[in-house]
Amino acid sequence: MVLAAGTGTDVVRAILQGTPPGAVYALVALGFVLTYKTSGVFNLAFGAQAFVSAAMFFQARVEWGWSTVPALVLAVFVLAPLTGLLMERLIFRHLRTASAVSKLVVAIGLSVALPSLFETLTGFAGVAGRTPEGLVPDGATVFYDPLGVYPFSRDELVALGVAVVGMLGLGALFRFSSIGLAMRAVVESPRMTELAGIDADRVSSVAWMLSSFFAGMAGVLIAPRFNTLMAPDFFHLVVVAVAAAAIGRLVSLPRALIGGLGLGIFIALFRTFLPRWSADHPWLEPFQNNLTPSMPFVVLFGVLVLWPAIRRSPAAADPLSGVDPPPPSLVSATRSAVLTRAARVFGVCFLLLVGLTVWFRGDVVWVHLVTQATIMSLILLSVTVITGLAGQISLCQGTFAAIGALTVFQLADRWDVSVLAAALVGAVIAAVVGALLSIPVLRLGGIWLAIATLAFAFFFDAVMLKFSWVGGGDSALLQGHRVPRPVLGPWDLADDRRFLVLVVVVFALVSVFVIRIREGTTGLILRGLRGSEVAAESVGVSPARARMLAFAISAAIAGLGGGLLAIHQENVNYGNNFTPMAALFWVVLVVTLSARTVEGAAQAGAAFSLFNSVILRGDGIGWITRGHLPGFFPLSPKWRFVLFGLASIQFARHPEGLVEHGKRRATAGMDARLAARRERAEPGAASSTAQQDPPSPDPSKVAAVGKQP
Amino acid sequence: MTPALELLNVEAGYGPFRALFGVTISVPAGGAVALLGANGAGKTTVARVASGLLEPSAGSVLVDGRDLTGERTFRFARAGVAHAPEGRSVFATFTVEENLTLSFQRLLGSDGLDDGLERAYSIFPRLGERRRQVAGTLSGGEQRMLSMARVLVEAPSVLVADELSLGLAPIVTDEIYATLEAIRASGTAMLIVEQHVGHALALCEHVVLLDKGTVAWEGPADEAADVVVSRLFEKSGG
Ligand SMILES: Nc1ncnc2c1ncn2[C@@H]1O[C@H](COP(=O)(O)OP(=O)(O)OP(=O)(O)O)[C@@H](O)[C@H]1O
Ligand SMILES: [Mg+2]
């Protein structure tokens, strides 16, 4: 390619243009790495924290009319560290020994809960169509051009300045004070740190306050770059930060800094040059429009998949881990016979009752809601398969469901295919995509799998959706994707009740399928894999095959559910149903209730669709009290996110799910009585107490003693 | 005189597993007690209770007469208990110097830090040669030296050492014991868990023999040799 004259200037301009956002990315990445380094928490709630500070700043400046300095102090210097302190004190301090994946789930729960909690507490409403306030007046309209190449806006200069000061401050703190060393020590072994007389709890509180301060600062700085002030934008920000942090393998602060700056500059260069290349090469054009916004996700995905070293995190094991008692055996894999039977009987009766009530008494709204709940249960069964059975956290289930829904739309729209057939095709396509995705991603495992699937979800959201053969082009994205209701033989399923029957039948079939998988060989293999990969491999089980199967099945179920949801709503409604943020909430719901059982998915589906109207709006209470609602109803629908998000914190302690845990405890007594009765019937059959035999003395030691005169 | 370290009727365990059943051990100020016993007898568990790493489920732990039962580990350290844990207990991602710095900073302040480092390197010249090396890549013996250096440089009021000669060359072990003698002379009380019974008996005047989580015998060091031999041989014979 012949370089046009002035290319050098363009490069310089792009670098200058990319530096201010790059500096803010670097700031977020630093904070993110700080948390990861000092607590082992992959803090996906970082974006939520940034949002809370940005929203607080906005609220104080605009709603309450405060001037900049007090608003900044409140939002960044008080609220942000306080949030971090509370998160550490109340939650993560108690999870020090929990697995990285459990901590990740907790962070996901928090990232769902925090923005809604803030919004309900302060009455803040997401601001759309209005550029949030910056730190300086006229930040976006006054420009300075020191080099005569690129005019910096005031906001950009402020962001750059603050970011540089922040980085220098952090560097100095680590260089000249002992706290930096202590923070690193606490990650490696809080116990050894305490043996040196250092209060490990205080050190990690300080680390959380500091990194949260960075989150808050970055939130306020980045806000003017958006034209809205809503939580999802900030979640986006944290994914960018993860990409930058991944370049430093999540532990190196200087490299995270370079990663952030580099990402900002890289994106600016891309923006400058891609349009020119695509002028010469027309095939580049679709990428030009689509790839730029998703650069961070592509980078993140690429780094994760192509750079195996990142997975071997250099973190060392705690030399004093011998003080911990052995982990409890995998209780989550088994369920007692009593509970299984009771749950089945109760579940069937309950469903019959609800079904009959809805069928004969329910009005249009109720039939609609129950249909929605059933379809959501179906979609959430896909989480049961991947998370409950395979033990992996996938954050792109929304994308699989979207693939199913969009397939239905495309096939029906273009070729007039029956929507039910199209839903099946959608499931197959989702399965294929899932299987393909699983090839690079499943090797990752643990938190990396979660992050890679998240990157994929964002990539689909930012890039694939824009292709007309996926998202239906601009008109469809604007006007919605109309999907007709099917006719099945003599039944016109435009009738809501008939459609409900169809949906229930599909859900029942898929449930039976999932149960058979769980109890069958594949389930057995997957259960073994949850215990130990090496052990499973050594008995000849191929972890890759079983996991790939789980991934594909899970994707297919999500795709089928997504298709049905589109048929039900007679529209795809991508933005409401399938965004990456929505999918986060699905995972939170399922792990909160019960990750391994079909009933857990059903409860989660019901909670997703009905919690709002039955509990929060007060319909449930109103029905019981015959219309006398206490004054505090209706509650904000946001409580749904707050409650379930916070409840998922329990995941680390009860990986079988909170509700499941409660149920097991409730039936534990009955189990014990049953076991006792059985033992009376056939004495000696049950195993004896847990008393261990004392180990016999080590011969080598005896020899050493014997050598003494 | 109040004992430097006292364990009174301590019971302790790991989750559902019970490891100690009513152990009472007292280390007088300036005294040295050797803790002997077969593998799995509970010696390491006693050491962990003594330094606050493990909270006893019953009984109490007193340091210089002060009841520290249930306190956090760093309070034990600040009360003067230094613990050299069993095995390779170093910060693996830190350099040798950073490992030492972390331990000395609180004790010596930033002014005394360099002096402390020098003393550590003079006790263990090998560490001085490798001060910039990442501790995780040190040999096993060097890692033991490092964790010993952390507790030997500034004499604590109580030293709890768990199998400190394990994996060290005899010469180095002799050196460490020479240093321990010197520290003892400066008034440090000691609870020593040791495989090399000879070294332990030479250093300590009192011996506690642990068996299946209880104190099976205790008495002065000069009587201990026979008891230890007979007891352990009896066991392996029967
Ligand atoms: N983290 C743990 N979880 C469960 N049991 C443990 C744990 N650590 C030690 N034990 C058990 O407690 C008992 C006492 O162990 P301890 O380590 O105190 O023995 P020890 O006397 O130090 O043995 P050794 O000479 O082998 O070091 C042993 O039976 C051991 O199996
Ligand atoms: Mg031991």
What is the DSSP code string of chain B? ---SEEEEEEEEEETTEEEEEEEEEEE-TT-EEEEEESTTSSHHHHHHHHTTSS--SEEEEEETTEE-TT--HHHHHHTTEEEE-SS--S-TTSBHHHHHHHHHHHHHHHHHHHHHHHHHHHH-HHHHHTTTSBGGGS-HHHHHHHHHHHHHSS--SEEEEESTTTT--HHHHHHHHHHHHHHHHTT-EEEEE-S-HHHHHHH-SEEEEEETTEEEEEEEHHHHHHHHHHHHHHHHH-
Give A626's DSSP letter.
T
pLDDT band at A691 (very low <50, low <70, confident <90, very high): very low
Q: In the prediction, which pLDDT does A78 show?
A: 92
Helix, strand, or coil (residue A41): coil
* pLDDT for position B108: 79
Which ligand 1 atom lies nearest to the CA of residue B163?
27
The protein residue with its alpha carbon nearest to ligand 1, atom 24, reads B39
CB A450 within 8 A of CB A393: yes
Residue A674 forms part of a structural domain? yes
pLDDT digits (tens, 9 = 90+) for A616-675: 666 666 666 666 666 666 666 677 777 777 777 766 666 666 666 666 666 666 666 766
Is it true that the peptide bond before A634 is cis, omega within 30 degrees of 0? yes
Q: Which of B89, B134, B138, B147 to mutate to test the interface with A (most CBs of A within 10 A)?
A: B89
- Look at A190-204, A463-477, B179-193, B197-211 and tell me which has the smallest mean pLDDT: A463-477
- Measured CA distances, A196 to A365, A433, A444, B108, B150 (Å): 64, 52, 36, 12, 9
Digitized pLDDT (tens) for each residue of chain B, 238 residues in all: 788 899 999 999 887 888 899 899 999 988 899 998 888 888 999 999 999 999 999 999 999 988 988 888 999 999 989 998 887 788 888 899 989 988 888 877 778 888 889 988 988 888 889 989 998 888 888 888 888 888 878 788 899 988 887 878 888 888 888 888 888 888 899 999 987 788 888 888 898 988 888 988 888 877 777 777 676 655 544 3
DSSP string, A384-412: IIIIIIT----S-HHHHHHHHHHHHHHHH
Pocket test for ligand 1, best of B7, B17, B210 (most atoms within 8 A of CB): B17
Most confident of A81-85, A251-255, A496-500: A81-85
Both structure tokens of A510: 């898929």
Give alpha helix (H) positions in A444-542: 446-462, 468-471, 473-479, 496-519, 521-531, 533-538
Of B51, B106, B232, the CB nearest to A697: B232
* B34 CB-side CA count, 13 A: 26
- Domain assignment present for residue A265? The answer is yes
**Same domain for A119 and A185?**
yes
- The neighbour count for residue A373, using CB atoms within 10 Å, is 23
Return residues 103-122 of B near A (CB < 8 Å).
Answer: 103, 105-107, 110
User: Parallel, antiparallel, or unpaired for β B17-27 and B58-63?
Assistant: unpaired
**Residue A433: burial class (beta carbons within 10 Å; 0-12, 13-18, 19+):** buried
CA B42 / ligand 1 centre spacing (Å): 6
Q: Which two tokens stand for residue A694?
A: 């004392």
Helical (H) or strand (E) element with A488: strand A487-488
Q: Which DSSP state fits A133?
A: P
Contact status of A200 with chain B (Cβ, < 8 Å): yes
How does residue A685 score in pLDDT terms, banded at 50, 70 and 90? very low
Interface list for B 156-175 with A (CB within 8 A): none
Nearest-ligand number for the alpha carbon of A322: 1
Contacts of A314 in chain B (CB under 8 A): 93
**Residue A297, Cα to own-chain centre: how many angstroms?**
15
- Quote the CA–CA distance of A562 and A514 in Å, as a whole number: 17
Top mean pLDDT of A5-14, A67-76, A148-157 is at: A67-76
Q: Write down the pLDDT at residue A250.
A: 73
Are the beta carbons of B229 and A188 separated by less than 8 Å?
no
Tell me if B92 sits within 8 A of A219, measured CB to CB.
Answer: no
Examine residue A672 and state whether it is found in any structural domain, yes or no.
yes
Of B13, B73, B107, the CB nearest to A195: B73
Of A36-50, A89-103, A526-540, B201-215, the one with minimum mean pLDDT is A526-540
Q: Are residues A292 and A416 in the same domain?
A: no
R_g (Cα) of chain B, nearest Å: 18
What CA–CA distance (Å, rounded) separates B144 from B162?
11
Residue A247 and residue A287 in one domain: yes
The three-class DSSP label of residue A522 is: helix
Q: Who contacts A580 (Cβ-Cβ below 8 Å, separation ≥6)?
A: A235, A395, A396, A398, A399, A454, A457, A458, A461
Exposed/middle/buried for residue A570 (C-beta within 10 Å: 0-12, 13-18, 19+): middle
pLDDT confidence of residue A530 = 59
B43 C-alpha to ligand 2 centroid (Å): 6
Phi-psi map region of A148: left, alpha, beta (phi>0 left; psi -120 to 50 alpha): left
Domain identity same for A537 and A632 = yes
Residues A254 and A310 in one domain: yes
* Same domain (yes/no): A168, A263: yes
- Whether the Cβ atoms of residue A167 and residue A244 lie closer than 8 Å to each other: no
Determine how many CB atoms are found less than 10 A away from the CB of residue A361. 8
The rounded distance, in Å, linking the Cα atoms of A350 and A246 is 48
How many CB atoms sit inside 10 A of residue A67's CB?
9
The 3-state DSSP class for residue A571 equals strand
- Domain final residue pick, A636, A656, A676: A656
Looking at the 3D structure of chain A, how many domains does it have? 3
A196, A316, A317 ranked by CB distance to B77: nearest? A196
Which residue among B39, B86, B105 sits closest to A698, beta carbon to beta carbon? Answer: B39
Residues A595, A490 share a domain: yes
Cβ of residue B237 closer than 8 Å to a chain A Cβ: no
Q: Each residue of A350-397: pLDDT tens digit?
A: 777 777 776 676 677 777 778 888 888 888 888 888 887 777 788 888
Mean pLDDT of A28-37: 84
A315 part of contact set with chain B, CB < 8 Å? yes
Q: Any idea which residue has 């205790």 for tokens?
A: B218
- Mean pLDDT check: name the lowest of A296-310, A331-345, A413-427, A481-495: A331-345
pLDDT digits over A518-536, tens only? 777 666 666 666 555 445 4
Structure token digits, residue A275: 């349009």
pLDDT digits (tens, 9 = 90+) for A264-319: 888 888 777 777 776 777 666 666 666 666 777 777 777 777 776 666 554 556 77
* Residue A525, in any domain of the structure: yes
In a domain, A8, yes or no: no
- Is the domain spanning B13-219 CATH 3.40.50.300? The answer is yes
Atom 31, ligand 1: residue with shortest CA distance? B40
Report pLDDT for A684.
Answer: 46
∠ CA A287-A256-A301, rounded to 5°: 35
A692 and A638, same domain (yes or no): no
Query: Which residues from chain A sit within 8 angstroms of residue B196, using beta carbons?
Result: 704
- Closest Cα in chain B to A315: B93
Alpha-helical regions (H) of A281-396? 285-291, 295-306, 337-361, 364-383
CB spacing of A314 vs B93 below 8 angstroms: yes
- Distance, in Å, from the CA atom of B34 to the CA atom of B222, rounded to the nearest integer, reads 12
Best of A323, A329, A693, A700 for a ligand 1 pocket test (most atoms within 8 Å of beta carbon): A323
Say if residues A526 and A547 touch (Cβ distance below 8 Å).
Answer: yes
Helix axes A446-462, A419-441, angle to 10 degrees: 130
Q: Say if B233 is an interface residue toward chain A (CB within 8 Å).
A: yes
Q: Which is more confidently placed, A512 or A613?
A: A512
- Contact criterion met (CB below 8 Å) for B1 and B24: no
Residue A550 sits in the same domain as residue A692: no
Residue A553's Cβ-side half-sphere holds a number of Cα atoms within 13 Å equal to 24
Query: In the predicted model, is pLDDT for residue A584 greater than 50?
Result: yes
The average pLDDT across A199-213 equals 89
Chain A residues with CB inside 8 Å of B103's CB?
196
Pick B72's closest partner by Cβ from A194, A315, A328.
A194
With a Cβ cut-off of 6 Å, ligand 1 is lined by: A 322, 324-326; B 14, 17, 19, 37, 39-45
Predicted local distance difference test score (pLDDT) of residue A81: 92
pLDDT higher than 90, residue A17 = no
Does one domain contain both A225 and A92? yes
State whether A638 and A685 are in the same domain: no
Taking 90 as the threshold, does the pLDDT of residue A615 lie above it? no
More confident call, A97 vs A72: A72
Report how far residue A178's alpha carbon sits from residue B98's, in angstroms, rounded to the nearest whole number: 10
Q: Does A331 touch chain B (CB under 8 A)?
A: no
Whether A148 is in a domain gets the answer no
**Are A67 and A89 in the same domain?**
yes
Q: Which residues contact A626 (CB under 8 A, 6 or more apart)?
A: none
Query: Where do the domains of chain B lie?
Result: 13-219
Q: Find the range with the poorest average confidence among A183-192, A439-448, B177-186.
A: A439-448
Which residue carries 């700080």 as its tokens?
A: A34
Chain segment A304-319, per-residue pLDDT in tens: 777 766 665 545 567 7
pLDDT attached to residue B24: 92
CA distance readout (Å), A456 to A400, A450, A563, A610: 11, 10, 20, 30
Q: What residues make up the domain containing A511?
A: 379-605+628-656
- Of all residues in chain A, the percent with pLDDT exceeding 90 is 2
pLDDT reported for residue A701 = 36
Alpha carbons A54 and A250: distance in angstroms, whole number? 25
